[in-house]
A = this chain, B = another copy of it.
């Protein structure tokens, strides 16, 4: 149940106010005039924890730039098996993958999240009219593709403990790139989310975390992880 807060320019801060680090994506290219043009098509939303931004198969209305919280893009099979394709952190854009105008995946708020949503056609038009933005979008897509390849290697080749170690290392890098604290590292997603991301069962994820703790590679409490031995973690991660 999305709650529209209002259009930019008329209400609230500009969409990039909440974007941090070098993950500004398109916005950092834009001088005020083009920013205004883009933001007129943008609309802020707040999403409750565990609510869906979009569902696979539903018509694509908007693309979403995450400004706070975490969004998971996933695919669920007929019998309930779920694969999380990617986690989107503040600064990331999601919801643009479609087939015949319908979303290819589910988009779910893992935490309460805020987004700036852009009408798809108008956003596409804006991109088409701005070469630098178009190039940035291609770079962004290529980055995502690289990340998907790395993810695939993790799920296809690593053992359960290696996958979880890789996940911790990957999240650390993603947070660091956004200048978010990593000591300790907040992991707000549930074990079952991590499991669905890594192609494991939640019990296996839990056991892997315990094993890393027993080997003094990480420390665990609540939803946070403290890395005690980065070298060993990296080694296990195969990164």
A176: chain B residues at CB < 8 Å are none
- A13 within 8 A of partner (CB): no
Contact B199 A156 (CB under 8 A): yes
Contact of A145 among B148, B150, B156, B199 (CB under 8 A): B148
Shortest beta-carbon distance, A137 to chain B, in Å?
6
Q: Count identical subunits in the complex.
A: 2
- A32 within 8 A of partner (CB): no
Q: How many A residues face the partner with a CB closer than 8 A?
A: 39
Contact A134 B138 (CB under 8 A): yes
Contact A153 B75 (CB under 8 A): yes
Shortest beta-carbon distance, A136 to chain B, in Å?
11
Shortest beta-carbon distance, A204 to chain B, in Å?
13
Contact of A138 among B138, B156, B199 (CB under 8 A): B138
- A39 within 8 A of partner (CB): no
Given contacts A128-B135, A148-B149, contact A199 B142 (CB under 8 A): no
User: Which residues of A73-109 are within 8 A (CB) of B?
Assistant: 73, 75, 77-78, 81-83, 85, 96-99, 104-105
Contact A146 B238 (CB under 8 A): no
A77: chain B residues at CB < 8 Å are 153, 157, 238
CB-CB nearest in chain B for A137? B138
Contact B199 A150 (CB under 8 A): no
Given contacts A156-B155, A157-B83, A199-B155, contact A141 B145 (CB under 8 A): yes
A214: chain B residues at CB < 8 Å are none
Contact B155 A85 (CB under 8 A): no
A44: chain B residues at CB < 8 Å are none
Contact with B along A103-144 (1 / 0, CB 8 A): 011000000000000000000000110010011011001101
List residues of A whose CB falls within 8 A of some B CB: 73, 75, 77-78, 81-83, 85, 96-99, 104-105, 127-128, 131, 134-135, 137-138, 141-142, 144-146, 148-153, 155-157, 196, 198-199, 238
Q: List 23 A-B contacts (CB under 8 A).
A: A75-B149, A75-B150, A83-B152, A85-B153, A97-B142, A97-B145, A97-B146, A98-B142, A99-B146, A104-B146, A105-B149, A127-B138, A128-B135, A131-B131, A134-B134, A137-B138, A145-B145, A145-B148, A148-B148, A148-B152, A151-B152, A155-B156, A157-B199
